[in-house]
């Protein structure tokens, strides 16, 4: 497992160091298209590169969210055209298990279209929620808006953590689950603060 994480990390590092913003976009696209390349590696590394002055925090946030949107559109159309049977047959090749499909199906059934926005803040679900959205033929315009704006807090928070840690960003590898919790709490706190300020 350590070898897999190390290889994924090295691939993400190679992408971003050689392609800059395009590397961020490609990495986030792959993750959102259900390819196992965690944003918990991509965005903090991008934050470190921003710390070095080679990119900006706002730039990586927007590009990361656009990559998330593009990858989610790929997953959406896979769900739309292939349906659940297609995913059950071929999903195993990109680590999409029956358990993950059941979880995101339940999440989408419970919260409907809003699930696409909310899920962008949640580990695992955020990666796969586009599939049931496509299967359910969710309104395309809503899907785009909810996906992009739902992704912004996630990409910003992860990027900002990498920016703050600077050269020490690699310690994140050892704390993925804790990091997920911190990002969720921080993102929810940020949203509550923004809503509070708007309503003042």
d(CA 80, CA 12): 29
Give the model's pLDDT for residue 74. Answer: 92
CA distance readout (Å), 117 to 22, 69, 97, 145, 150: 24, 12, 22, 9, 5
Domain count for the chain, please give it: 1
Range 91-110 average pLDDT: 63
Range 169-197 average pLDDT: 57
Instruction: List the structure tokens of 105.
Output: 């199906």
What is the per-residue pLDDT across 8-31, written as a single tens digit (0 to 9) for each?
667 777 888 888 999 999 999 988
Percent of the chain with pLDDT over 90: 19
Range 178-190 average pLDDT: 57
Q: Does position 65 have pLDDT exceeding 50, yes or no?
A: yes
Give the model's pLDDT for residue 186. Answer: 57
Higher pLDDT, 140 or 175: 140
Give the model's pLDDT for residue 81. Answer: 80
Range of the domain at 34: 2-198
CA distance readout (Å), 21 to 4, 42, 161: 24, 11, 18
């Amino acid at each position: 497992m350590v070898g897999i994480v190390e290889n994924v990390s090295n691939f993400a590092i190679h992408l971003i160091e050689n392609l800059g913003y395009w590397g961020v976009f490609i990495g986030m696209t792959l993750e959102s298209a259900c390819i196992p390349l965690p944003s918990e590696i991509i965005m903090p590394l991008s934050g470190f590169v921003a710390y070095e002055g080679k990119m900006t925090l706002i730039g990586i946030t927007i590009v990361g969210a656009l990559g998330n949107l593009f990858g989610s559109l790929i997953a959406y159309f896979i769900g739309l055209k292939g349906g659940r049977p297609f995913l059950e047959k071929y999903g195993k090749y990109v680590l999409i298990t029956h358990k993950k499909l059941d979880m995101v199906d339940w999440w989408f059934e419970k919260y409907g279209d809003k699930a696409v926005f909310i899920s962008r803040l949640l580990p695992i679900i955020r990666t796969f929620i586009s599939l049931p959205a496509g299967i359910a033929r969710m309104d395309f315009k809503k899907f785009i808006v909810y996906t992009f704006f739902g992704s912004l807090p996630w990409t910003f928070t992860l990027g900002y953590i990498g920016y703050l840690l600077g050269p020490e960003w690699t310690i994140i590898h050892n704390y993925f689950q804790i990091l997920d919790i911190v990002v969720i709490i921080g993102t929810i706190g940020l949203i509550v603060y923004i809503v509070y300020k708007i309503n003042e």
